[in-house]
Chain A
Amino acid sequence: MGFFERIFREPRWGVHPDDHKRPAADAPLRVLPPPARLYLPLHQHVGGAARPVVLVGQKVLKGQLLAEAQGNISAPIHAPVSGTVAAIGEVTAPHPSGLGFAAISIDSDGEGRWIETEPALDPFALAPEEIARRTAAAGVVGLGGATFPAAVKFALGKRLAVSTLIVNGGECEPYLSSDDRIMRDHADQVVDGARIVMHAIGAREALVGIEDNKPEAIAAMQKAAAAYPEVKIRPVPARYPMGSDKQLIQTLTGKEVPADARAAEVGVLVHNVSTCAAVHQAIRLGRPLVERIVTINGGAVARPGNIFAPLGTLADELLAFCGLKETPARLILGGPMMGTPLLHGKVPLVKGASGILAFDAREAAVPKAGPCIRCGSCTQACPMGLLPLEMAARIRAGDLDGAVDFALSDCIACGGCAYVCPSHIPLVQYFSHAKGELAARERARLRTEAAKRLAEARLARLARESREKAAAAARRKAERDAAKAKAAARAEGAPA
């Protein structure tokens, strides 16, 4: 970078954390032998939890449906091994609360026998709706971490006539390399999956955005896509959060997704590379999503790398497979920028888990927060153009509405601001706290309104009932009076 460019170039959004991707990314993919017991949460996706369709003690085959989708936005769960349903009940959720979570436990018989699958020899001969149906039936959700059911997005793309599919191979989170690995090892599956998705949504081109810190993946993908001019491999600068949908769309197409709108409304749809590979598996081979590549990395891991593992494997088993040099000082599900801390390793691998990190004490050290010096690093880092320091100052003072005026709701919680803060202020913590408070306040408001509506309805009902009672009483009285008068008249009219 030239001298003047360095001084005068407008600082663009984003941060450049140490990526820590190697050597884990370069280690060959290893396959985990299926553990004896697997735990499959019923809620591994955005939307409604799946509903179990098996019974305890029932024999299941690999890929057999365990729980069906429930509601418009939901996804089914399938057996990752052949074996026996051991239990249907609570396990610890991959969530910092460590609360329980409904799940199906399966004892593996170690044979790995697949169900009868329904491969599609020519997916492009199938109707787009049929592709969406099969993708939904295979339980494919966004594997980049968002876990939104893929088929629901297909339908949206089809409806809004999306012209461009963006395949997200950004993988901007440090430490993680599961997408990198799938592009290096299974580039043909990713490209084929992308073409199937294009067919499903009616897109004319696919832009595969890959951060330029993954030259091997770029080369492999270029080779795999060479025969398909509509699939374009587009290296993008390595800059966190490049893998965020909005930022990748802007970088690749120059389009900006309007606030409160979906990407499809500007004619693009984003799918992760691993999701594309899962679509390939679901359509070409008829195999549901029951396994995934997960990165095991961090200072406490002896042999970091990528593991192909059945869903439902406990984090502890994955870590044991890679070996631990020391007791981890922190466990993280996902990447270090947006990942969730785990309180222990008895948590199953879920569809959206691209990595499990075991940090050593040095990596887990939390720097002491100091006062804000208003240096503005956070405003330069923010990919959304927000003012994190102003929002945090207001939240700190309890002025949540003030933070909303600074567009708190547009925050994507990428963590760039908190990463870059020289005073190490936990900015995302402030924003999450405020968003939670505001959501609670909104719920309370709705509850109050509902209670008020009910109370008003009750009063109205009571008033109506007493009115009706009074009217009925009056009517009866009138009838009695009339009867009496009639009787009296008859008595009077009768001859003496």
Chain B
Amino acid sequence: MSNVIGIPVAAPHASTTNSAGRVMAIVMAALAPATLFGFWLYGWPAIYLWLVTVAAATLGEAFCLRLMGRQASPVLFDGSAALTGWLLALSLPPWAPWWIGAFGGLFATVLGKQVFGGLGQNLFNPAMVARVALLISFPVQMTAWIAPLPIFSAAAPGPIDGLLILLKGLPPAFDAVASASLLGFAKTEMSRGIDLLQAMAHAPLQAWYGSRPGSLGETAAWLIAGGGVALMFLRIISWHIPLAMLAGIALPAAILHAVDPARYLDATTHLLSGGAMLGAFFIATDYVTSPNTPRGQLIFGAGCGLLTWIIRTWAGYPEGVAFAVLLMNSLTPIIDSYVKPRIYGRDRKGVALEPGK
């Protein structure tokens, strides 16, 4: 056969311009406002920690790809490793030492993702795997929160001091800024036998716009939520997981707070504290580790929310988003195998419809 044209490829002969890289870039753009707000609130050490974490996650990915004899650059270019590092950085105490970020970032992409086979293969959310590993291994550093110290305020560390804080840890001069996160504070006070009604009178300062002790992703709860809504608007994520997760936290919180406000925090505090917003919009919605049908996503999201609330309320840790997401990640394959969409011309069980109906 002479002058053959092209190759016999299967239809379709058209393709979307969307790509994994574009999806990751949009998610990063949605995270950017909250991240910049966090940088402003916690200054140079937080910026450095973010850089170290993102770099470590990317490095871990590149290392594994090279180890497998694959070319690293095209895979790194999709941005998924950097996004994993970014999400992890947002869940860390902003002034944590550099090795927390480095260890966490490497752990996330190497043990959280690449050992499963890379993008799309991991069972658990890599950022949360790393966060939990850090929390269990280094509980002191992972719960050393500080009060906000906006970057341009007189007391804030400059670029050099910030680097020293990152490398050498918190110097005595900054001891005054150490503080507890609200959830940690509530848990400690409860364990001391002080009920919430009294404890809240001298709780760490909370500003409605997010100036409060906590991780980068905690303080900017409204900006995180705004980024999440933007993702829903752009149809990058659907509403099912975020709303189900927030409802899973808020509903039991509201009910038990109404029953006994001295023992149970209110729903608003739950929603704006810890990783609730970050978890609902950016962590639990990870494509790879969440179910892929709307009904499955509702179950998954509600489970994440409910477990978060249970862990916060009754378990040993003040915060439970990471544990809750990991537990529900493990249920994703089961949810996916039981919850399937109805097929055209069949009922939910897969039996063909009756022609007469």
User: Are A7 and B120 touching (Cβ within 8 A)?
Assistant: no
Q: How far is the CB of B83 from chain A (nearest CB, A)?
A: 11
Neighbouring A residues of B120 by C-beta, 8 Å: 371-374
Knowing A11-B235, A258-B353, A343-B5, say if A424 contacts B15 (CB, 8 Å): yes
User: Are A261 and B232 touching (Cβ within 8 A)?
Assistant: no
- CA–CA, A371 and B14, complex, Å: 19
Neighbouring A residues of B287 by C-beta, 8 Å: 373-376
Neighbouring A residues of B119 by C-beta, 8 Å: 370-371, 373
- CA–CA, A363 and B15, complex, Å: 9
A10 interface contact, C-beta 8 A: yes
B345 interface contact, C-beta 8 A: yes
User: Are B5 and A342 touching (Cβ within 8 A)?
Assistant: yes
Knowing A98-B1, A344-B1, say if A422 contacts B23 (CB, 8 Å): yes
Beta-carbon nearest neighbor of A382 in chain B = B341
Within 8 A of B (CB), among A194-253: 246, 250
Neighbouring A residues of B118 by C-beta, 8 Å: 371
Within 8 A of B (CB), among A314-357: 327-332, 336-345, 357
Beta-carbon nearest neighbor of B340 in chain A = A387
User: Are A385 and B343 touching (Cβ within 8 A)?
Assistant: yes
User: Are A415 and B11 touching (Cβ within 8 A)?
Assistant: yes
- CA–CA, A387 and B336, complex, Å: 10
- CA–CA, A428 and B12, complex, Å: 8
- CA–CA, A153 and B144, complex, Å: 76
Q: How far is the CB of B191 from chain A (nearest CB, A)?
A: 40
B354 interface contact, C-beta 8 A: yes
User: Are B341 and A336 touching (Cβ within 8 A)?
Assistant: no
- CA–CA, A375 and B213, complex, Å: 34
Interface residues on B, range: 35 or more
User: Are A8 and B1 touching (Cβ within 8 A)?
Assistant: no
Neighbouring B residues of A174 by C-beta, 8 Å: 14
- CA–CA, A3 and B20, complex, Å: 25
Within 8 A of B (CB), among A393-416: 406-407, 410, 413, 415
Q: Is the interface of A mostly helix, strand, loop or mixed?
A: loop
Neighbouring A residues of B4 by C-beta, 8 Å: 343-344
- Chain B proximity mask over A90-133: 1 for CB below 8 Å, otherwise 0: 00000010100000000000000000000000000000000000
A386 interface contact, C-beta 8 A: yes
Q: How far is the CB of A111 from chain B (nearest CB, A)?
A: 33
Q: How far is the CB of B17 from chain A (nearest CB, A)?
A: 9
- Chain A proximity mask over B333-357: 1 for CB below 8 Å, otherwise 0: 0001000111111100010111100
- CA–CA, A106 and B260, complex, Å: 92
Q: Given A344-B3, A389-B292, 10 other A-B contacts at CB below 8 A?
A: A330-B9, A330-B13, A331-B5, A336-B12, A340-B11, A343-B8, A372-B120, A385-B343, A410-B344, A426-B9
28 contacts across the A-B interface (CB closer than 8 A): A7-B229, A8-B239, A250-B344, A258-B353, A258-B355, A259-B343, A259-B353, A327-B5, A328-B5, A329-B6, A332-B13, A336-B14, A339-B13, A341-B6, A363-B13, A364-B6, A366-B9, A370-B19, A370-B119, A371-B118, A374-B292, A387-B340, A389-B292, A410-B345, A415-B12, A422-B19, A428-B11, A429-B9
A-B complex: 9 closest residue pairs judged by Cβ atoms: A415-B12, A259-B345, A258-B353, A330-B6, A259-B352, A429-B10, A376-B292, A265-B355, A336-B13
Chain A residues near B (Cβ < 8 Å): 3, 6-8, 10-11, 15, 17-18, 96, 98, 174, 246, 250, 256-261, 265-266, 327-332, 336-345, 357, 359, 363-364, 366-367, 370-377, 379, 383-387, 389-390, 406-407, 410, 413, 415, 418-424, 426, 428-429, 432
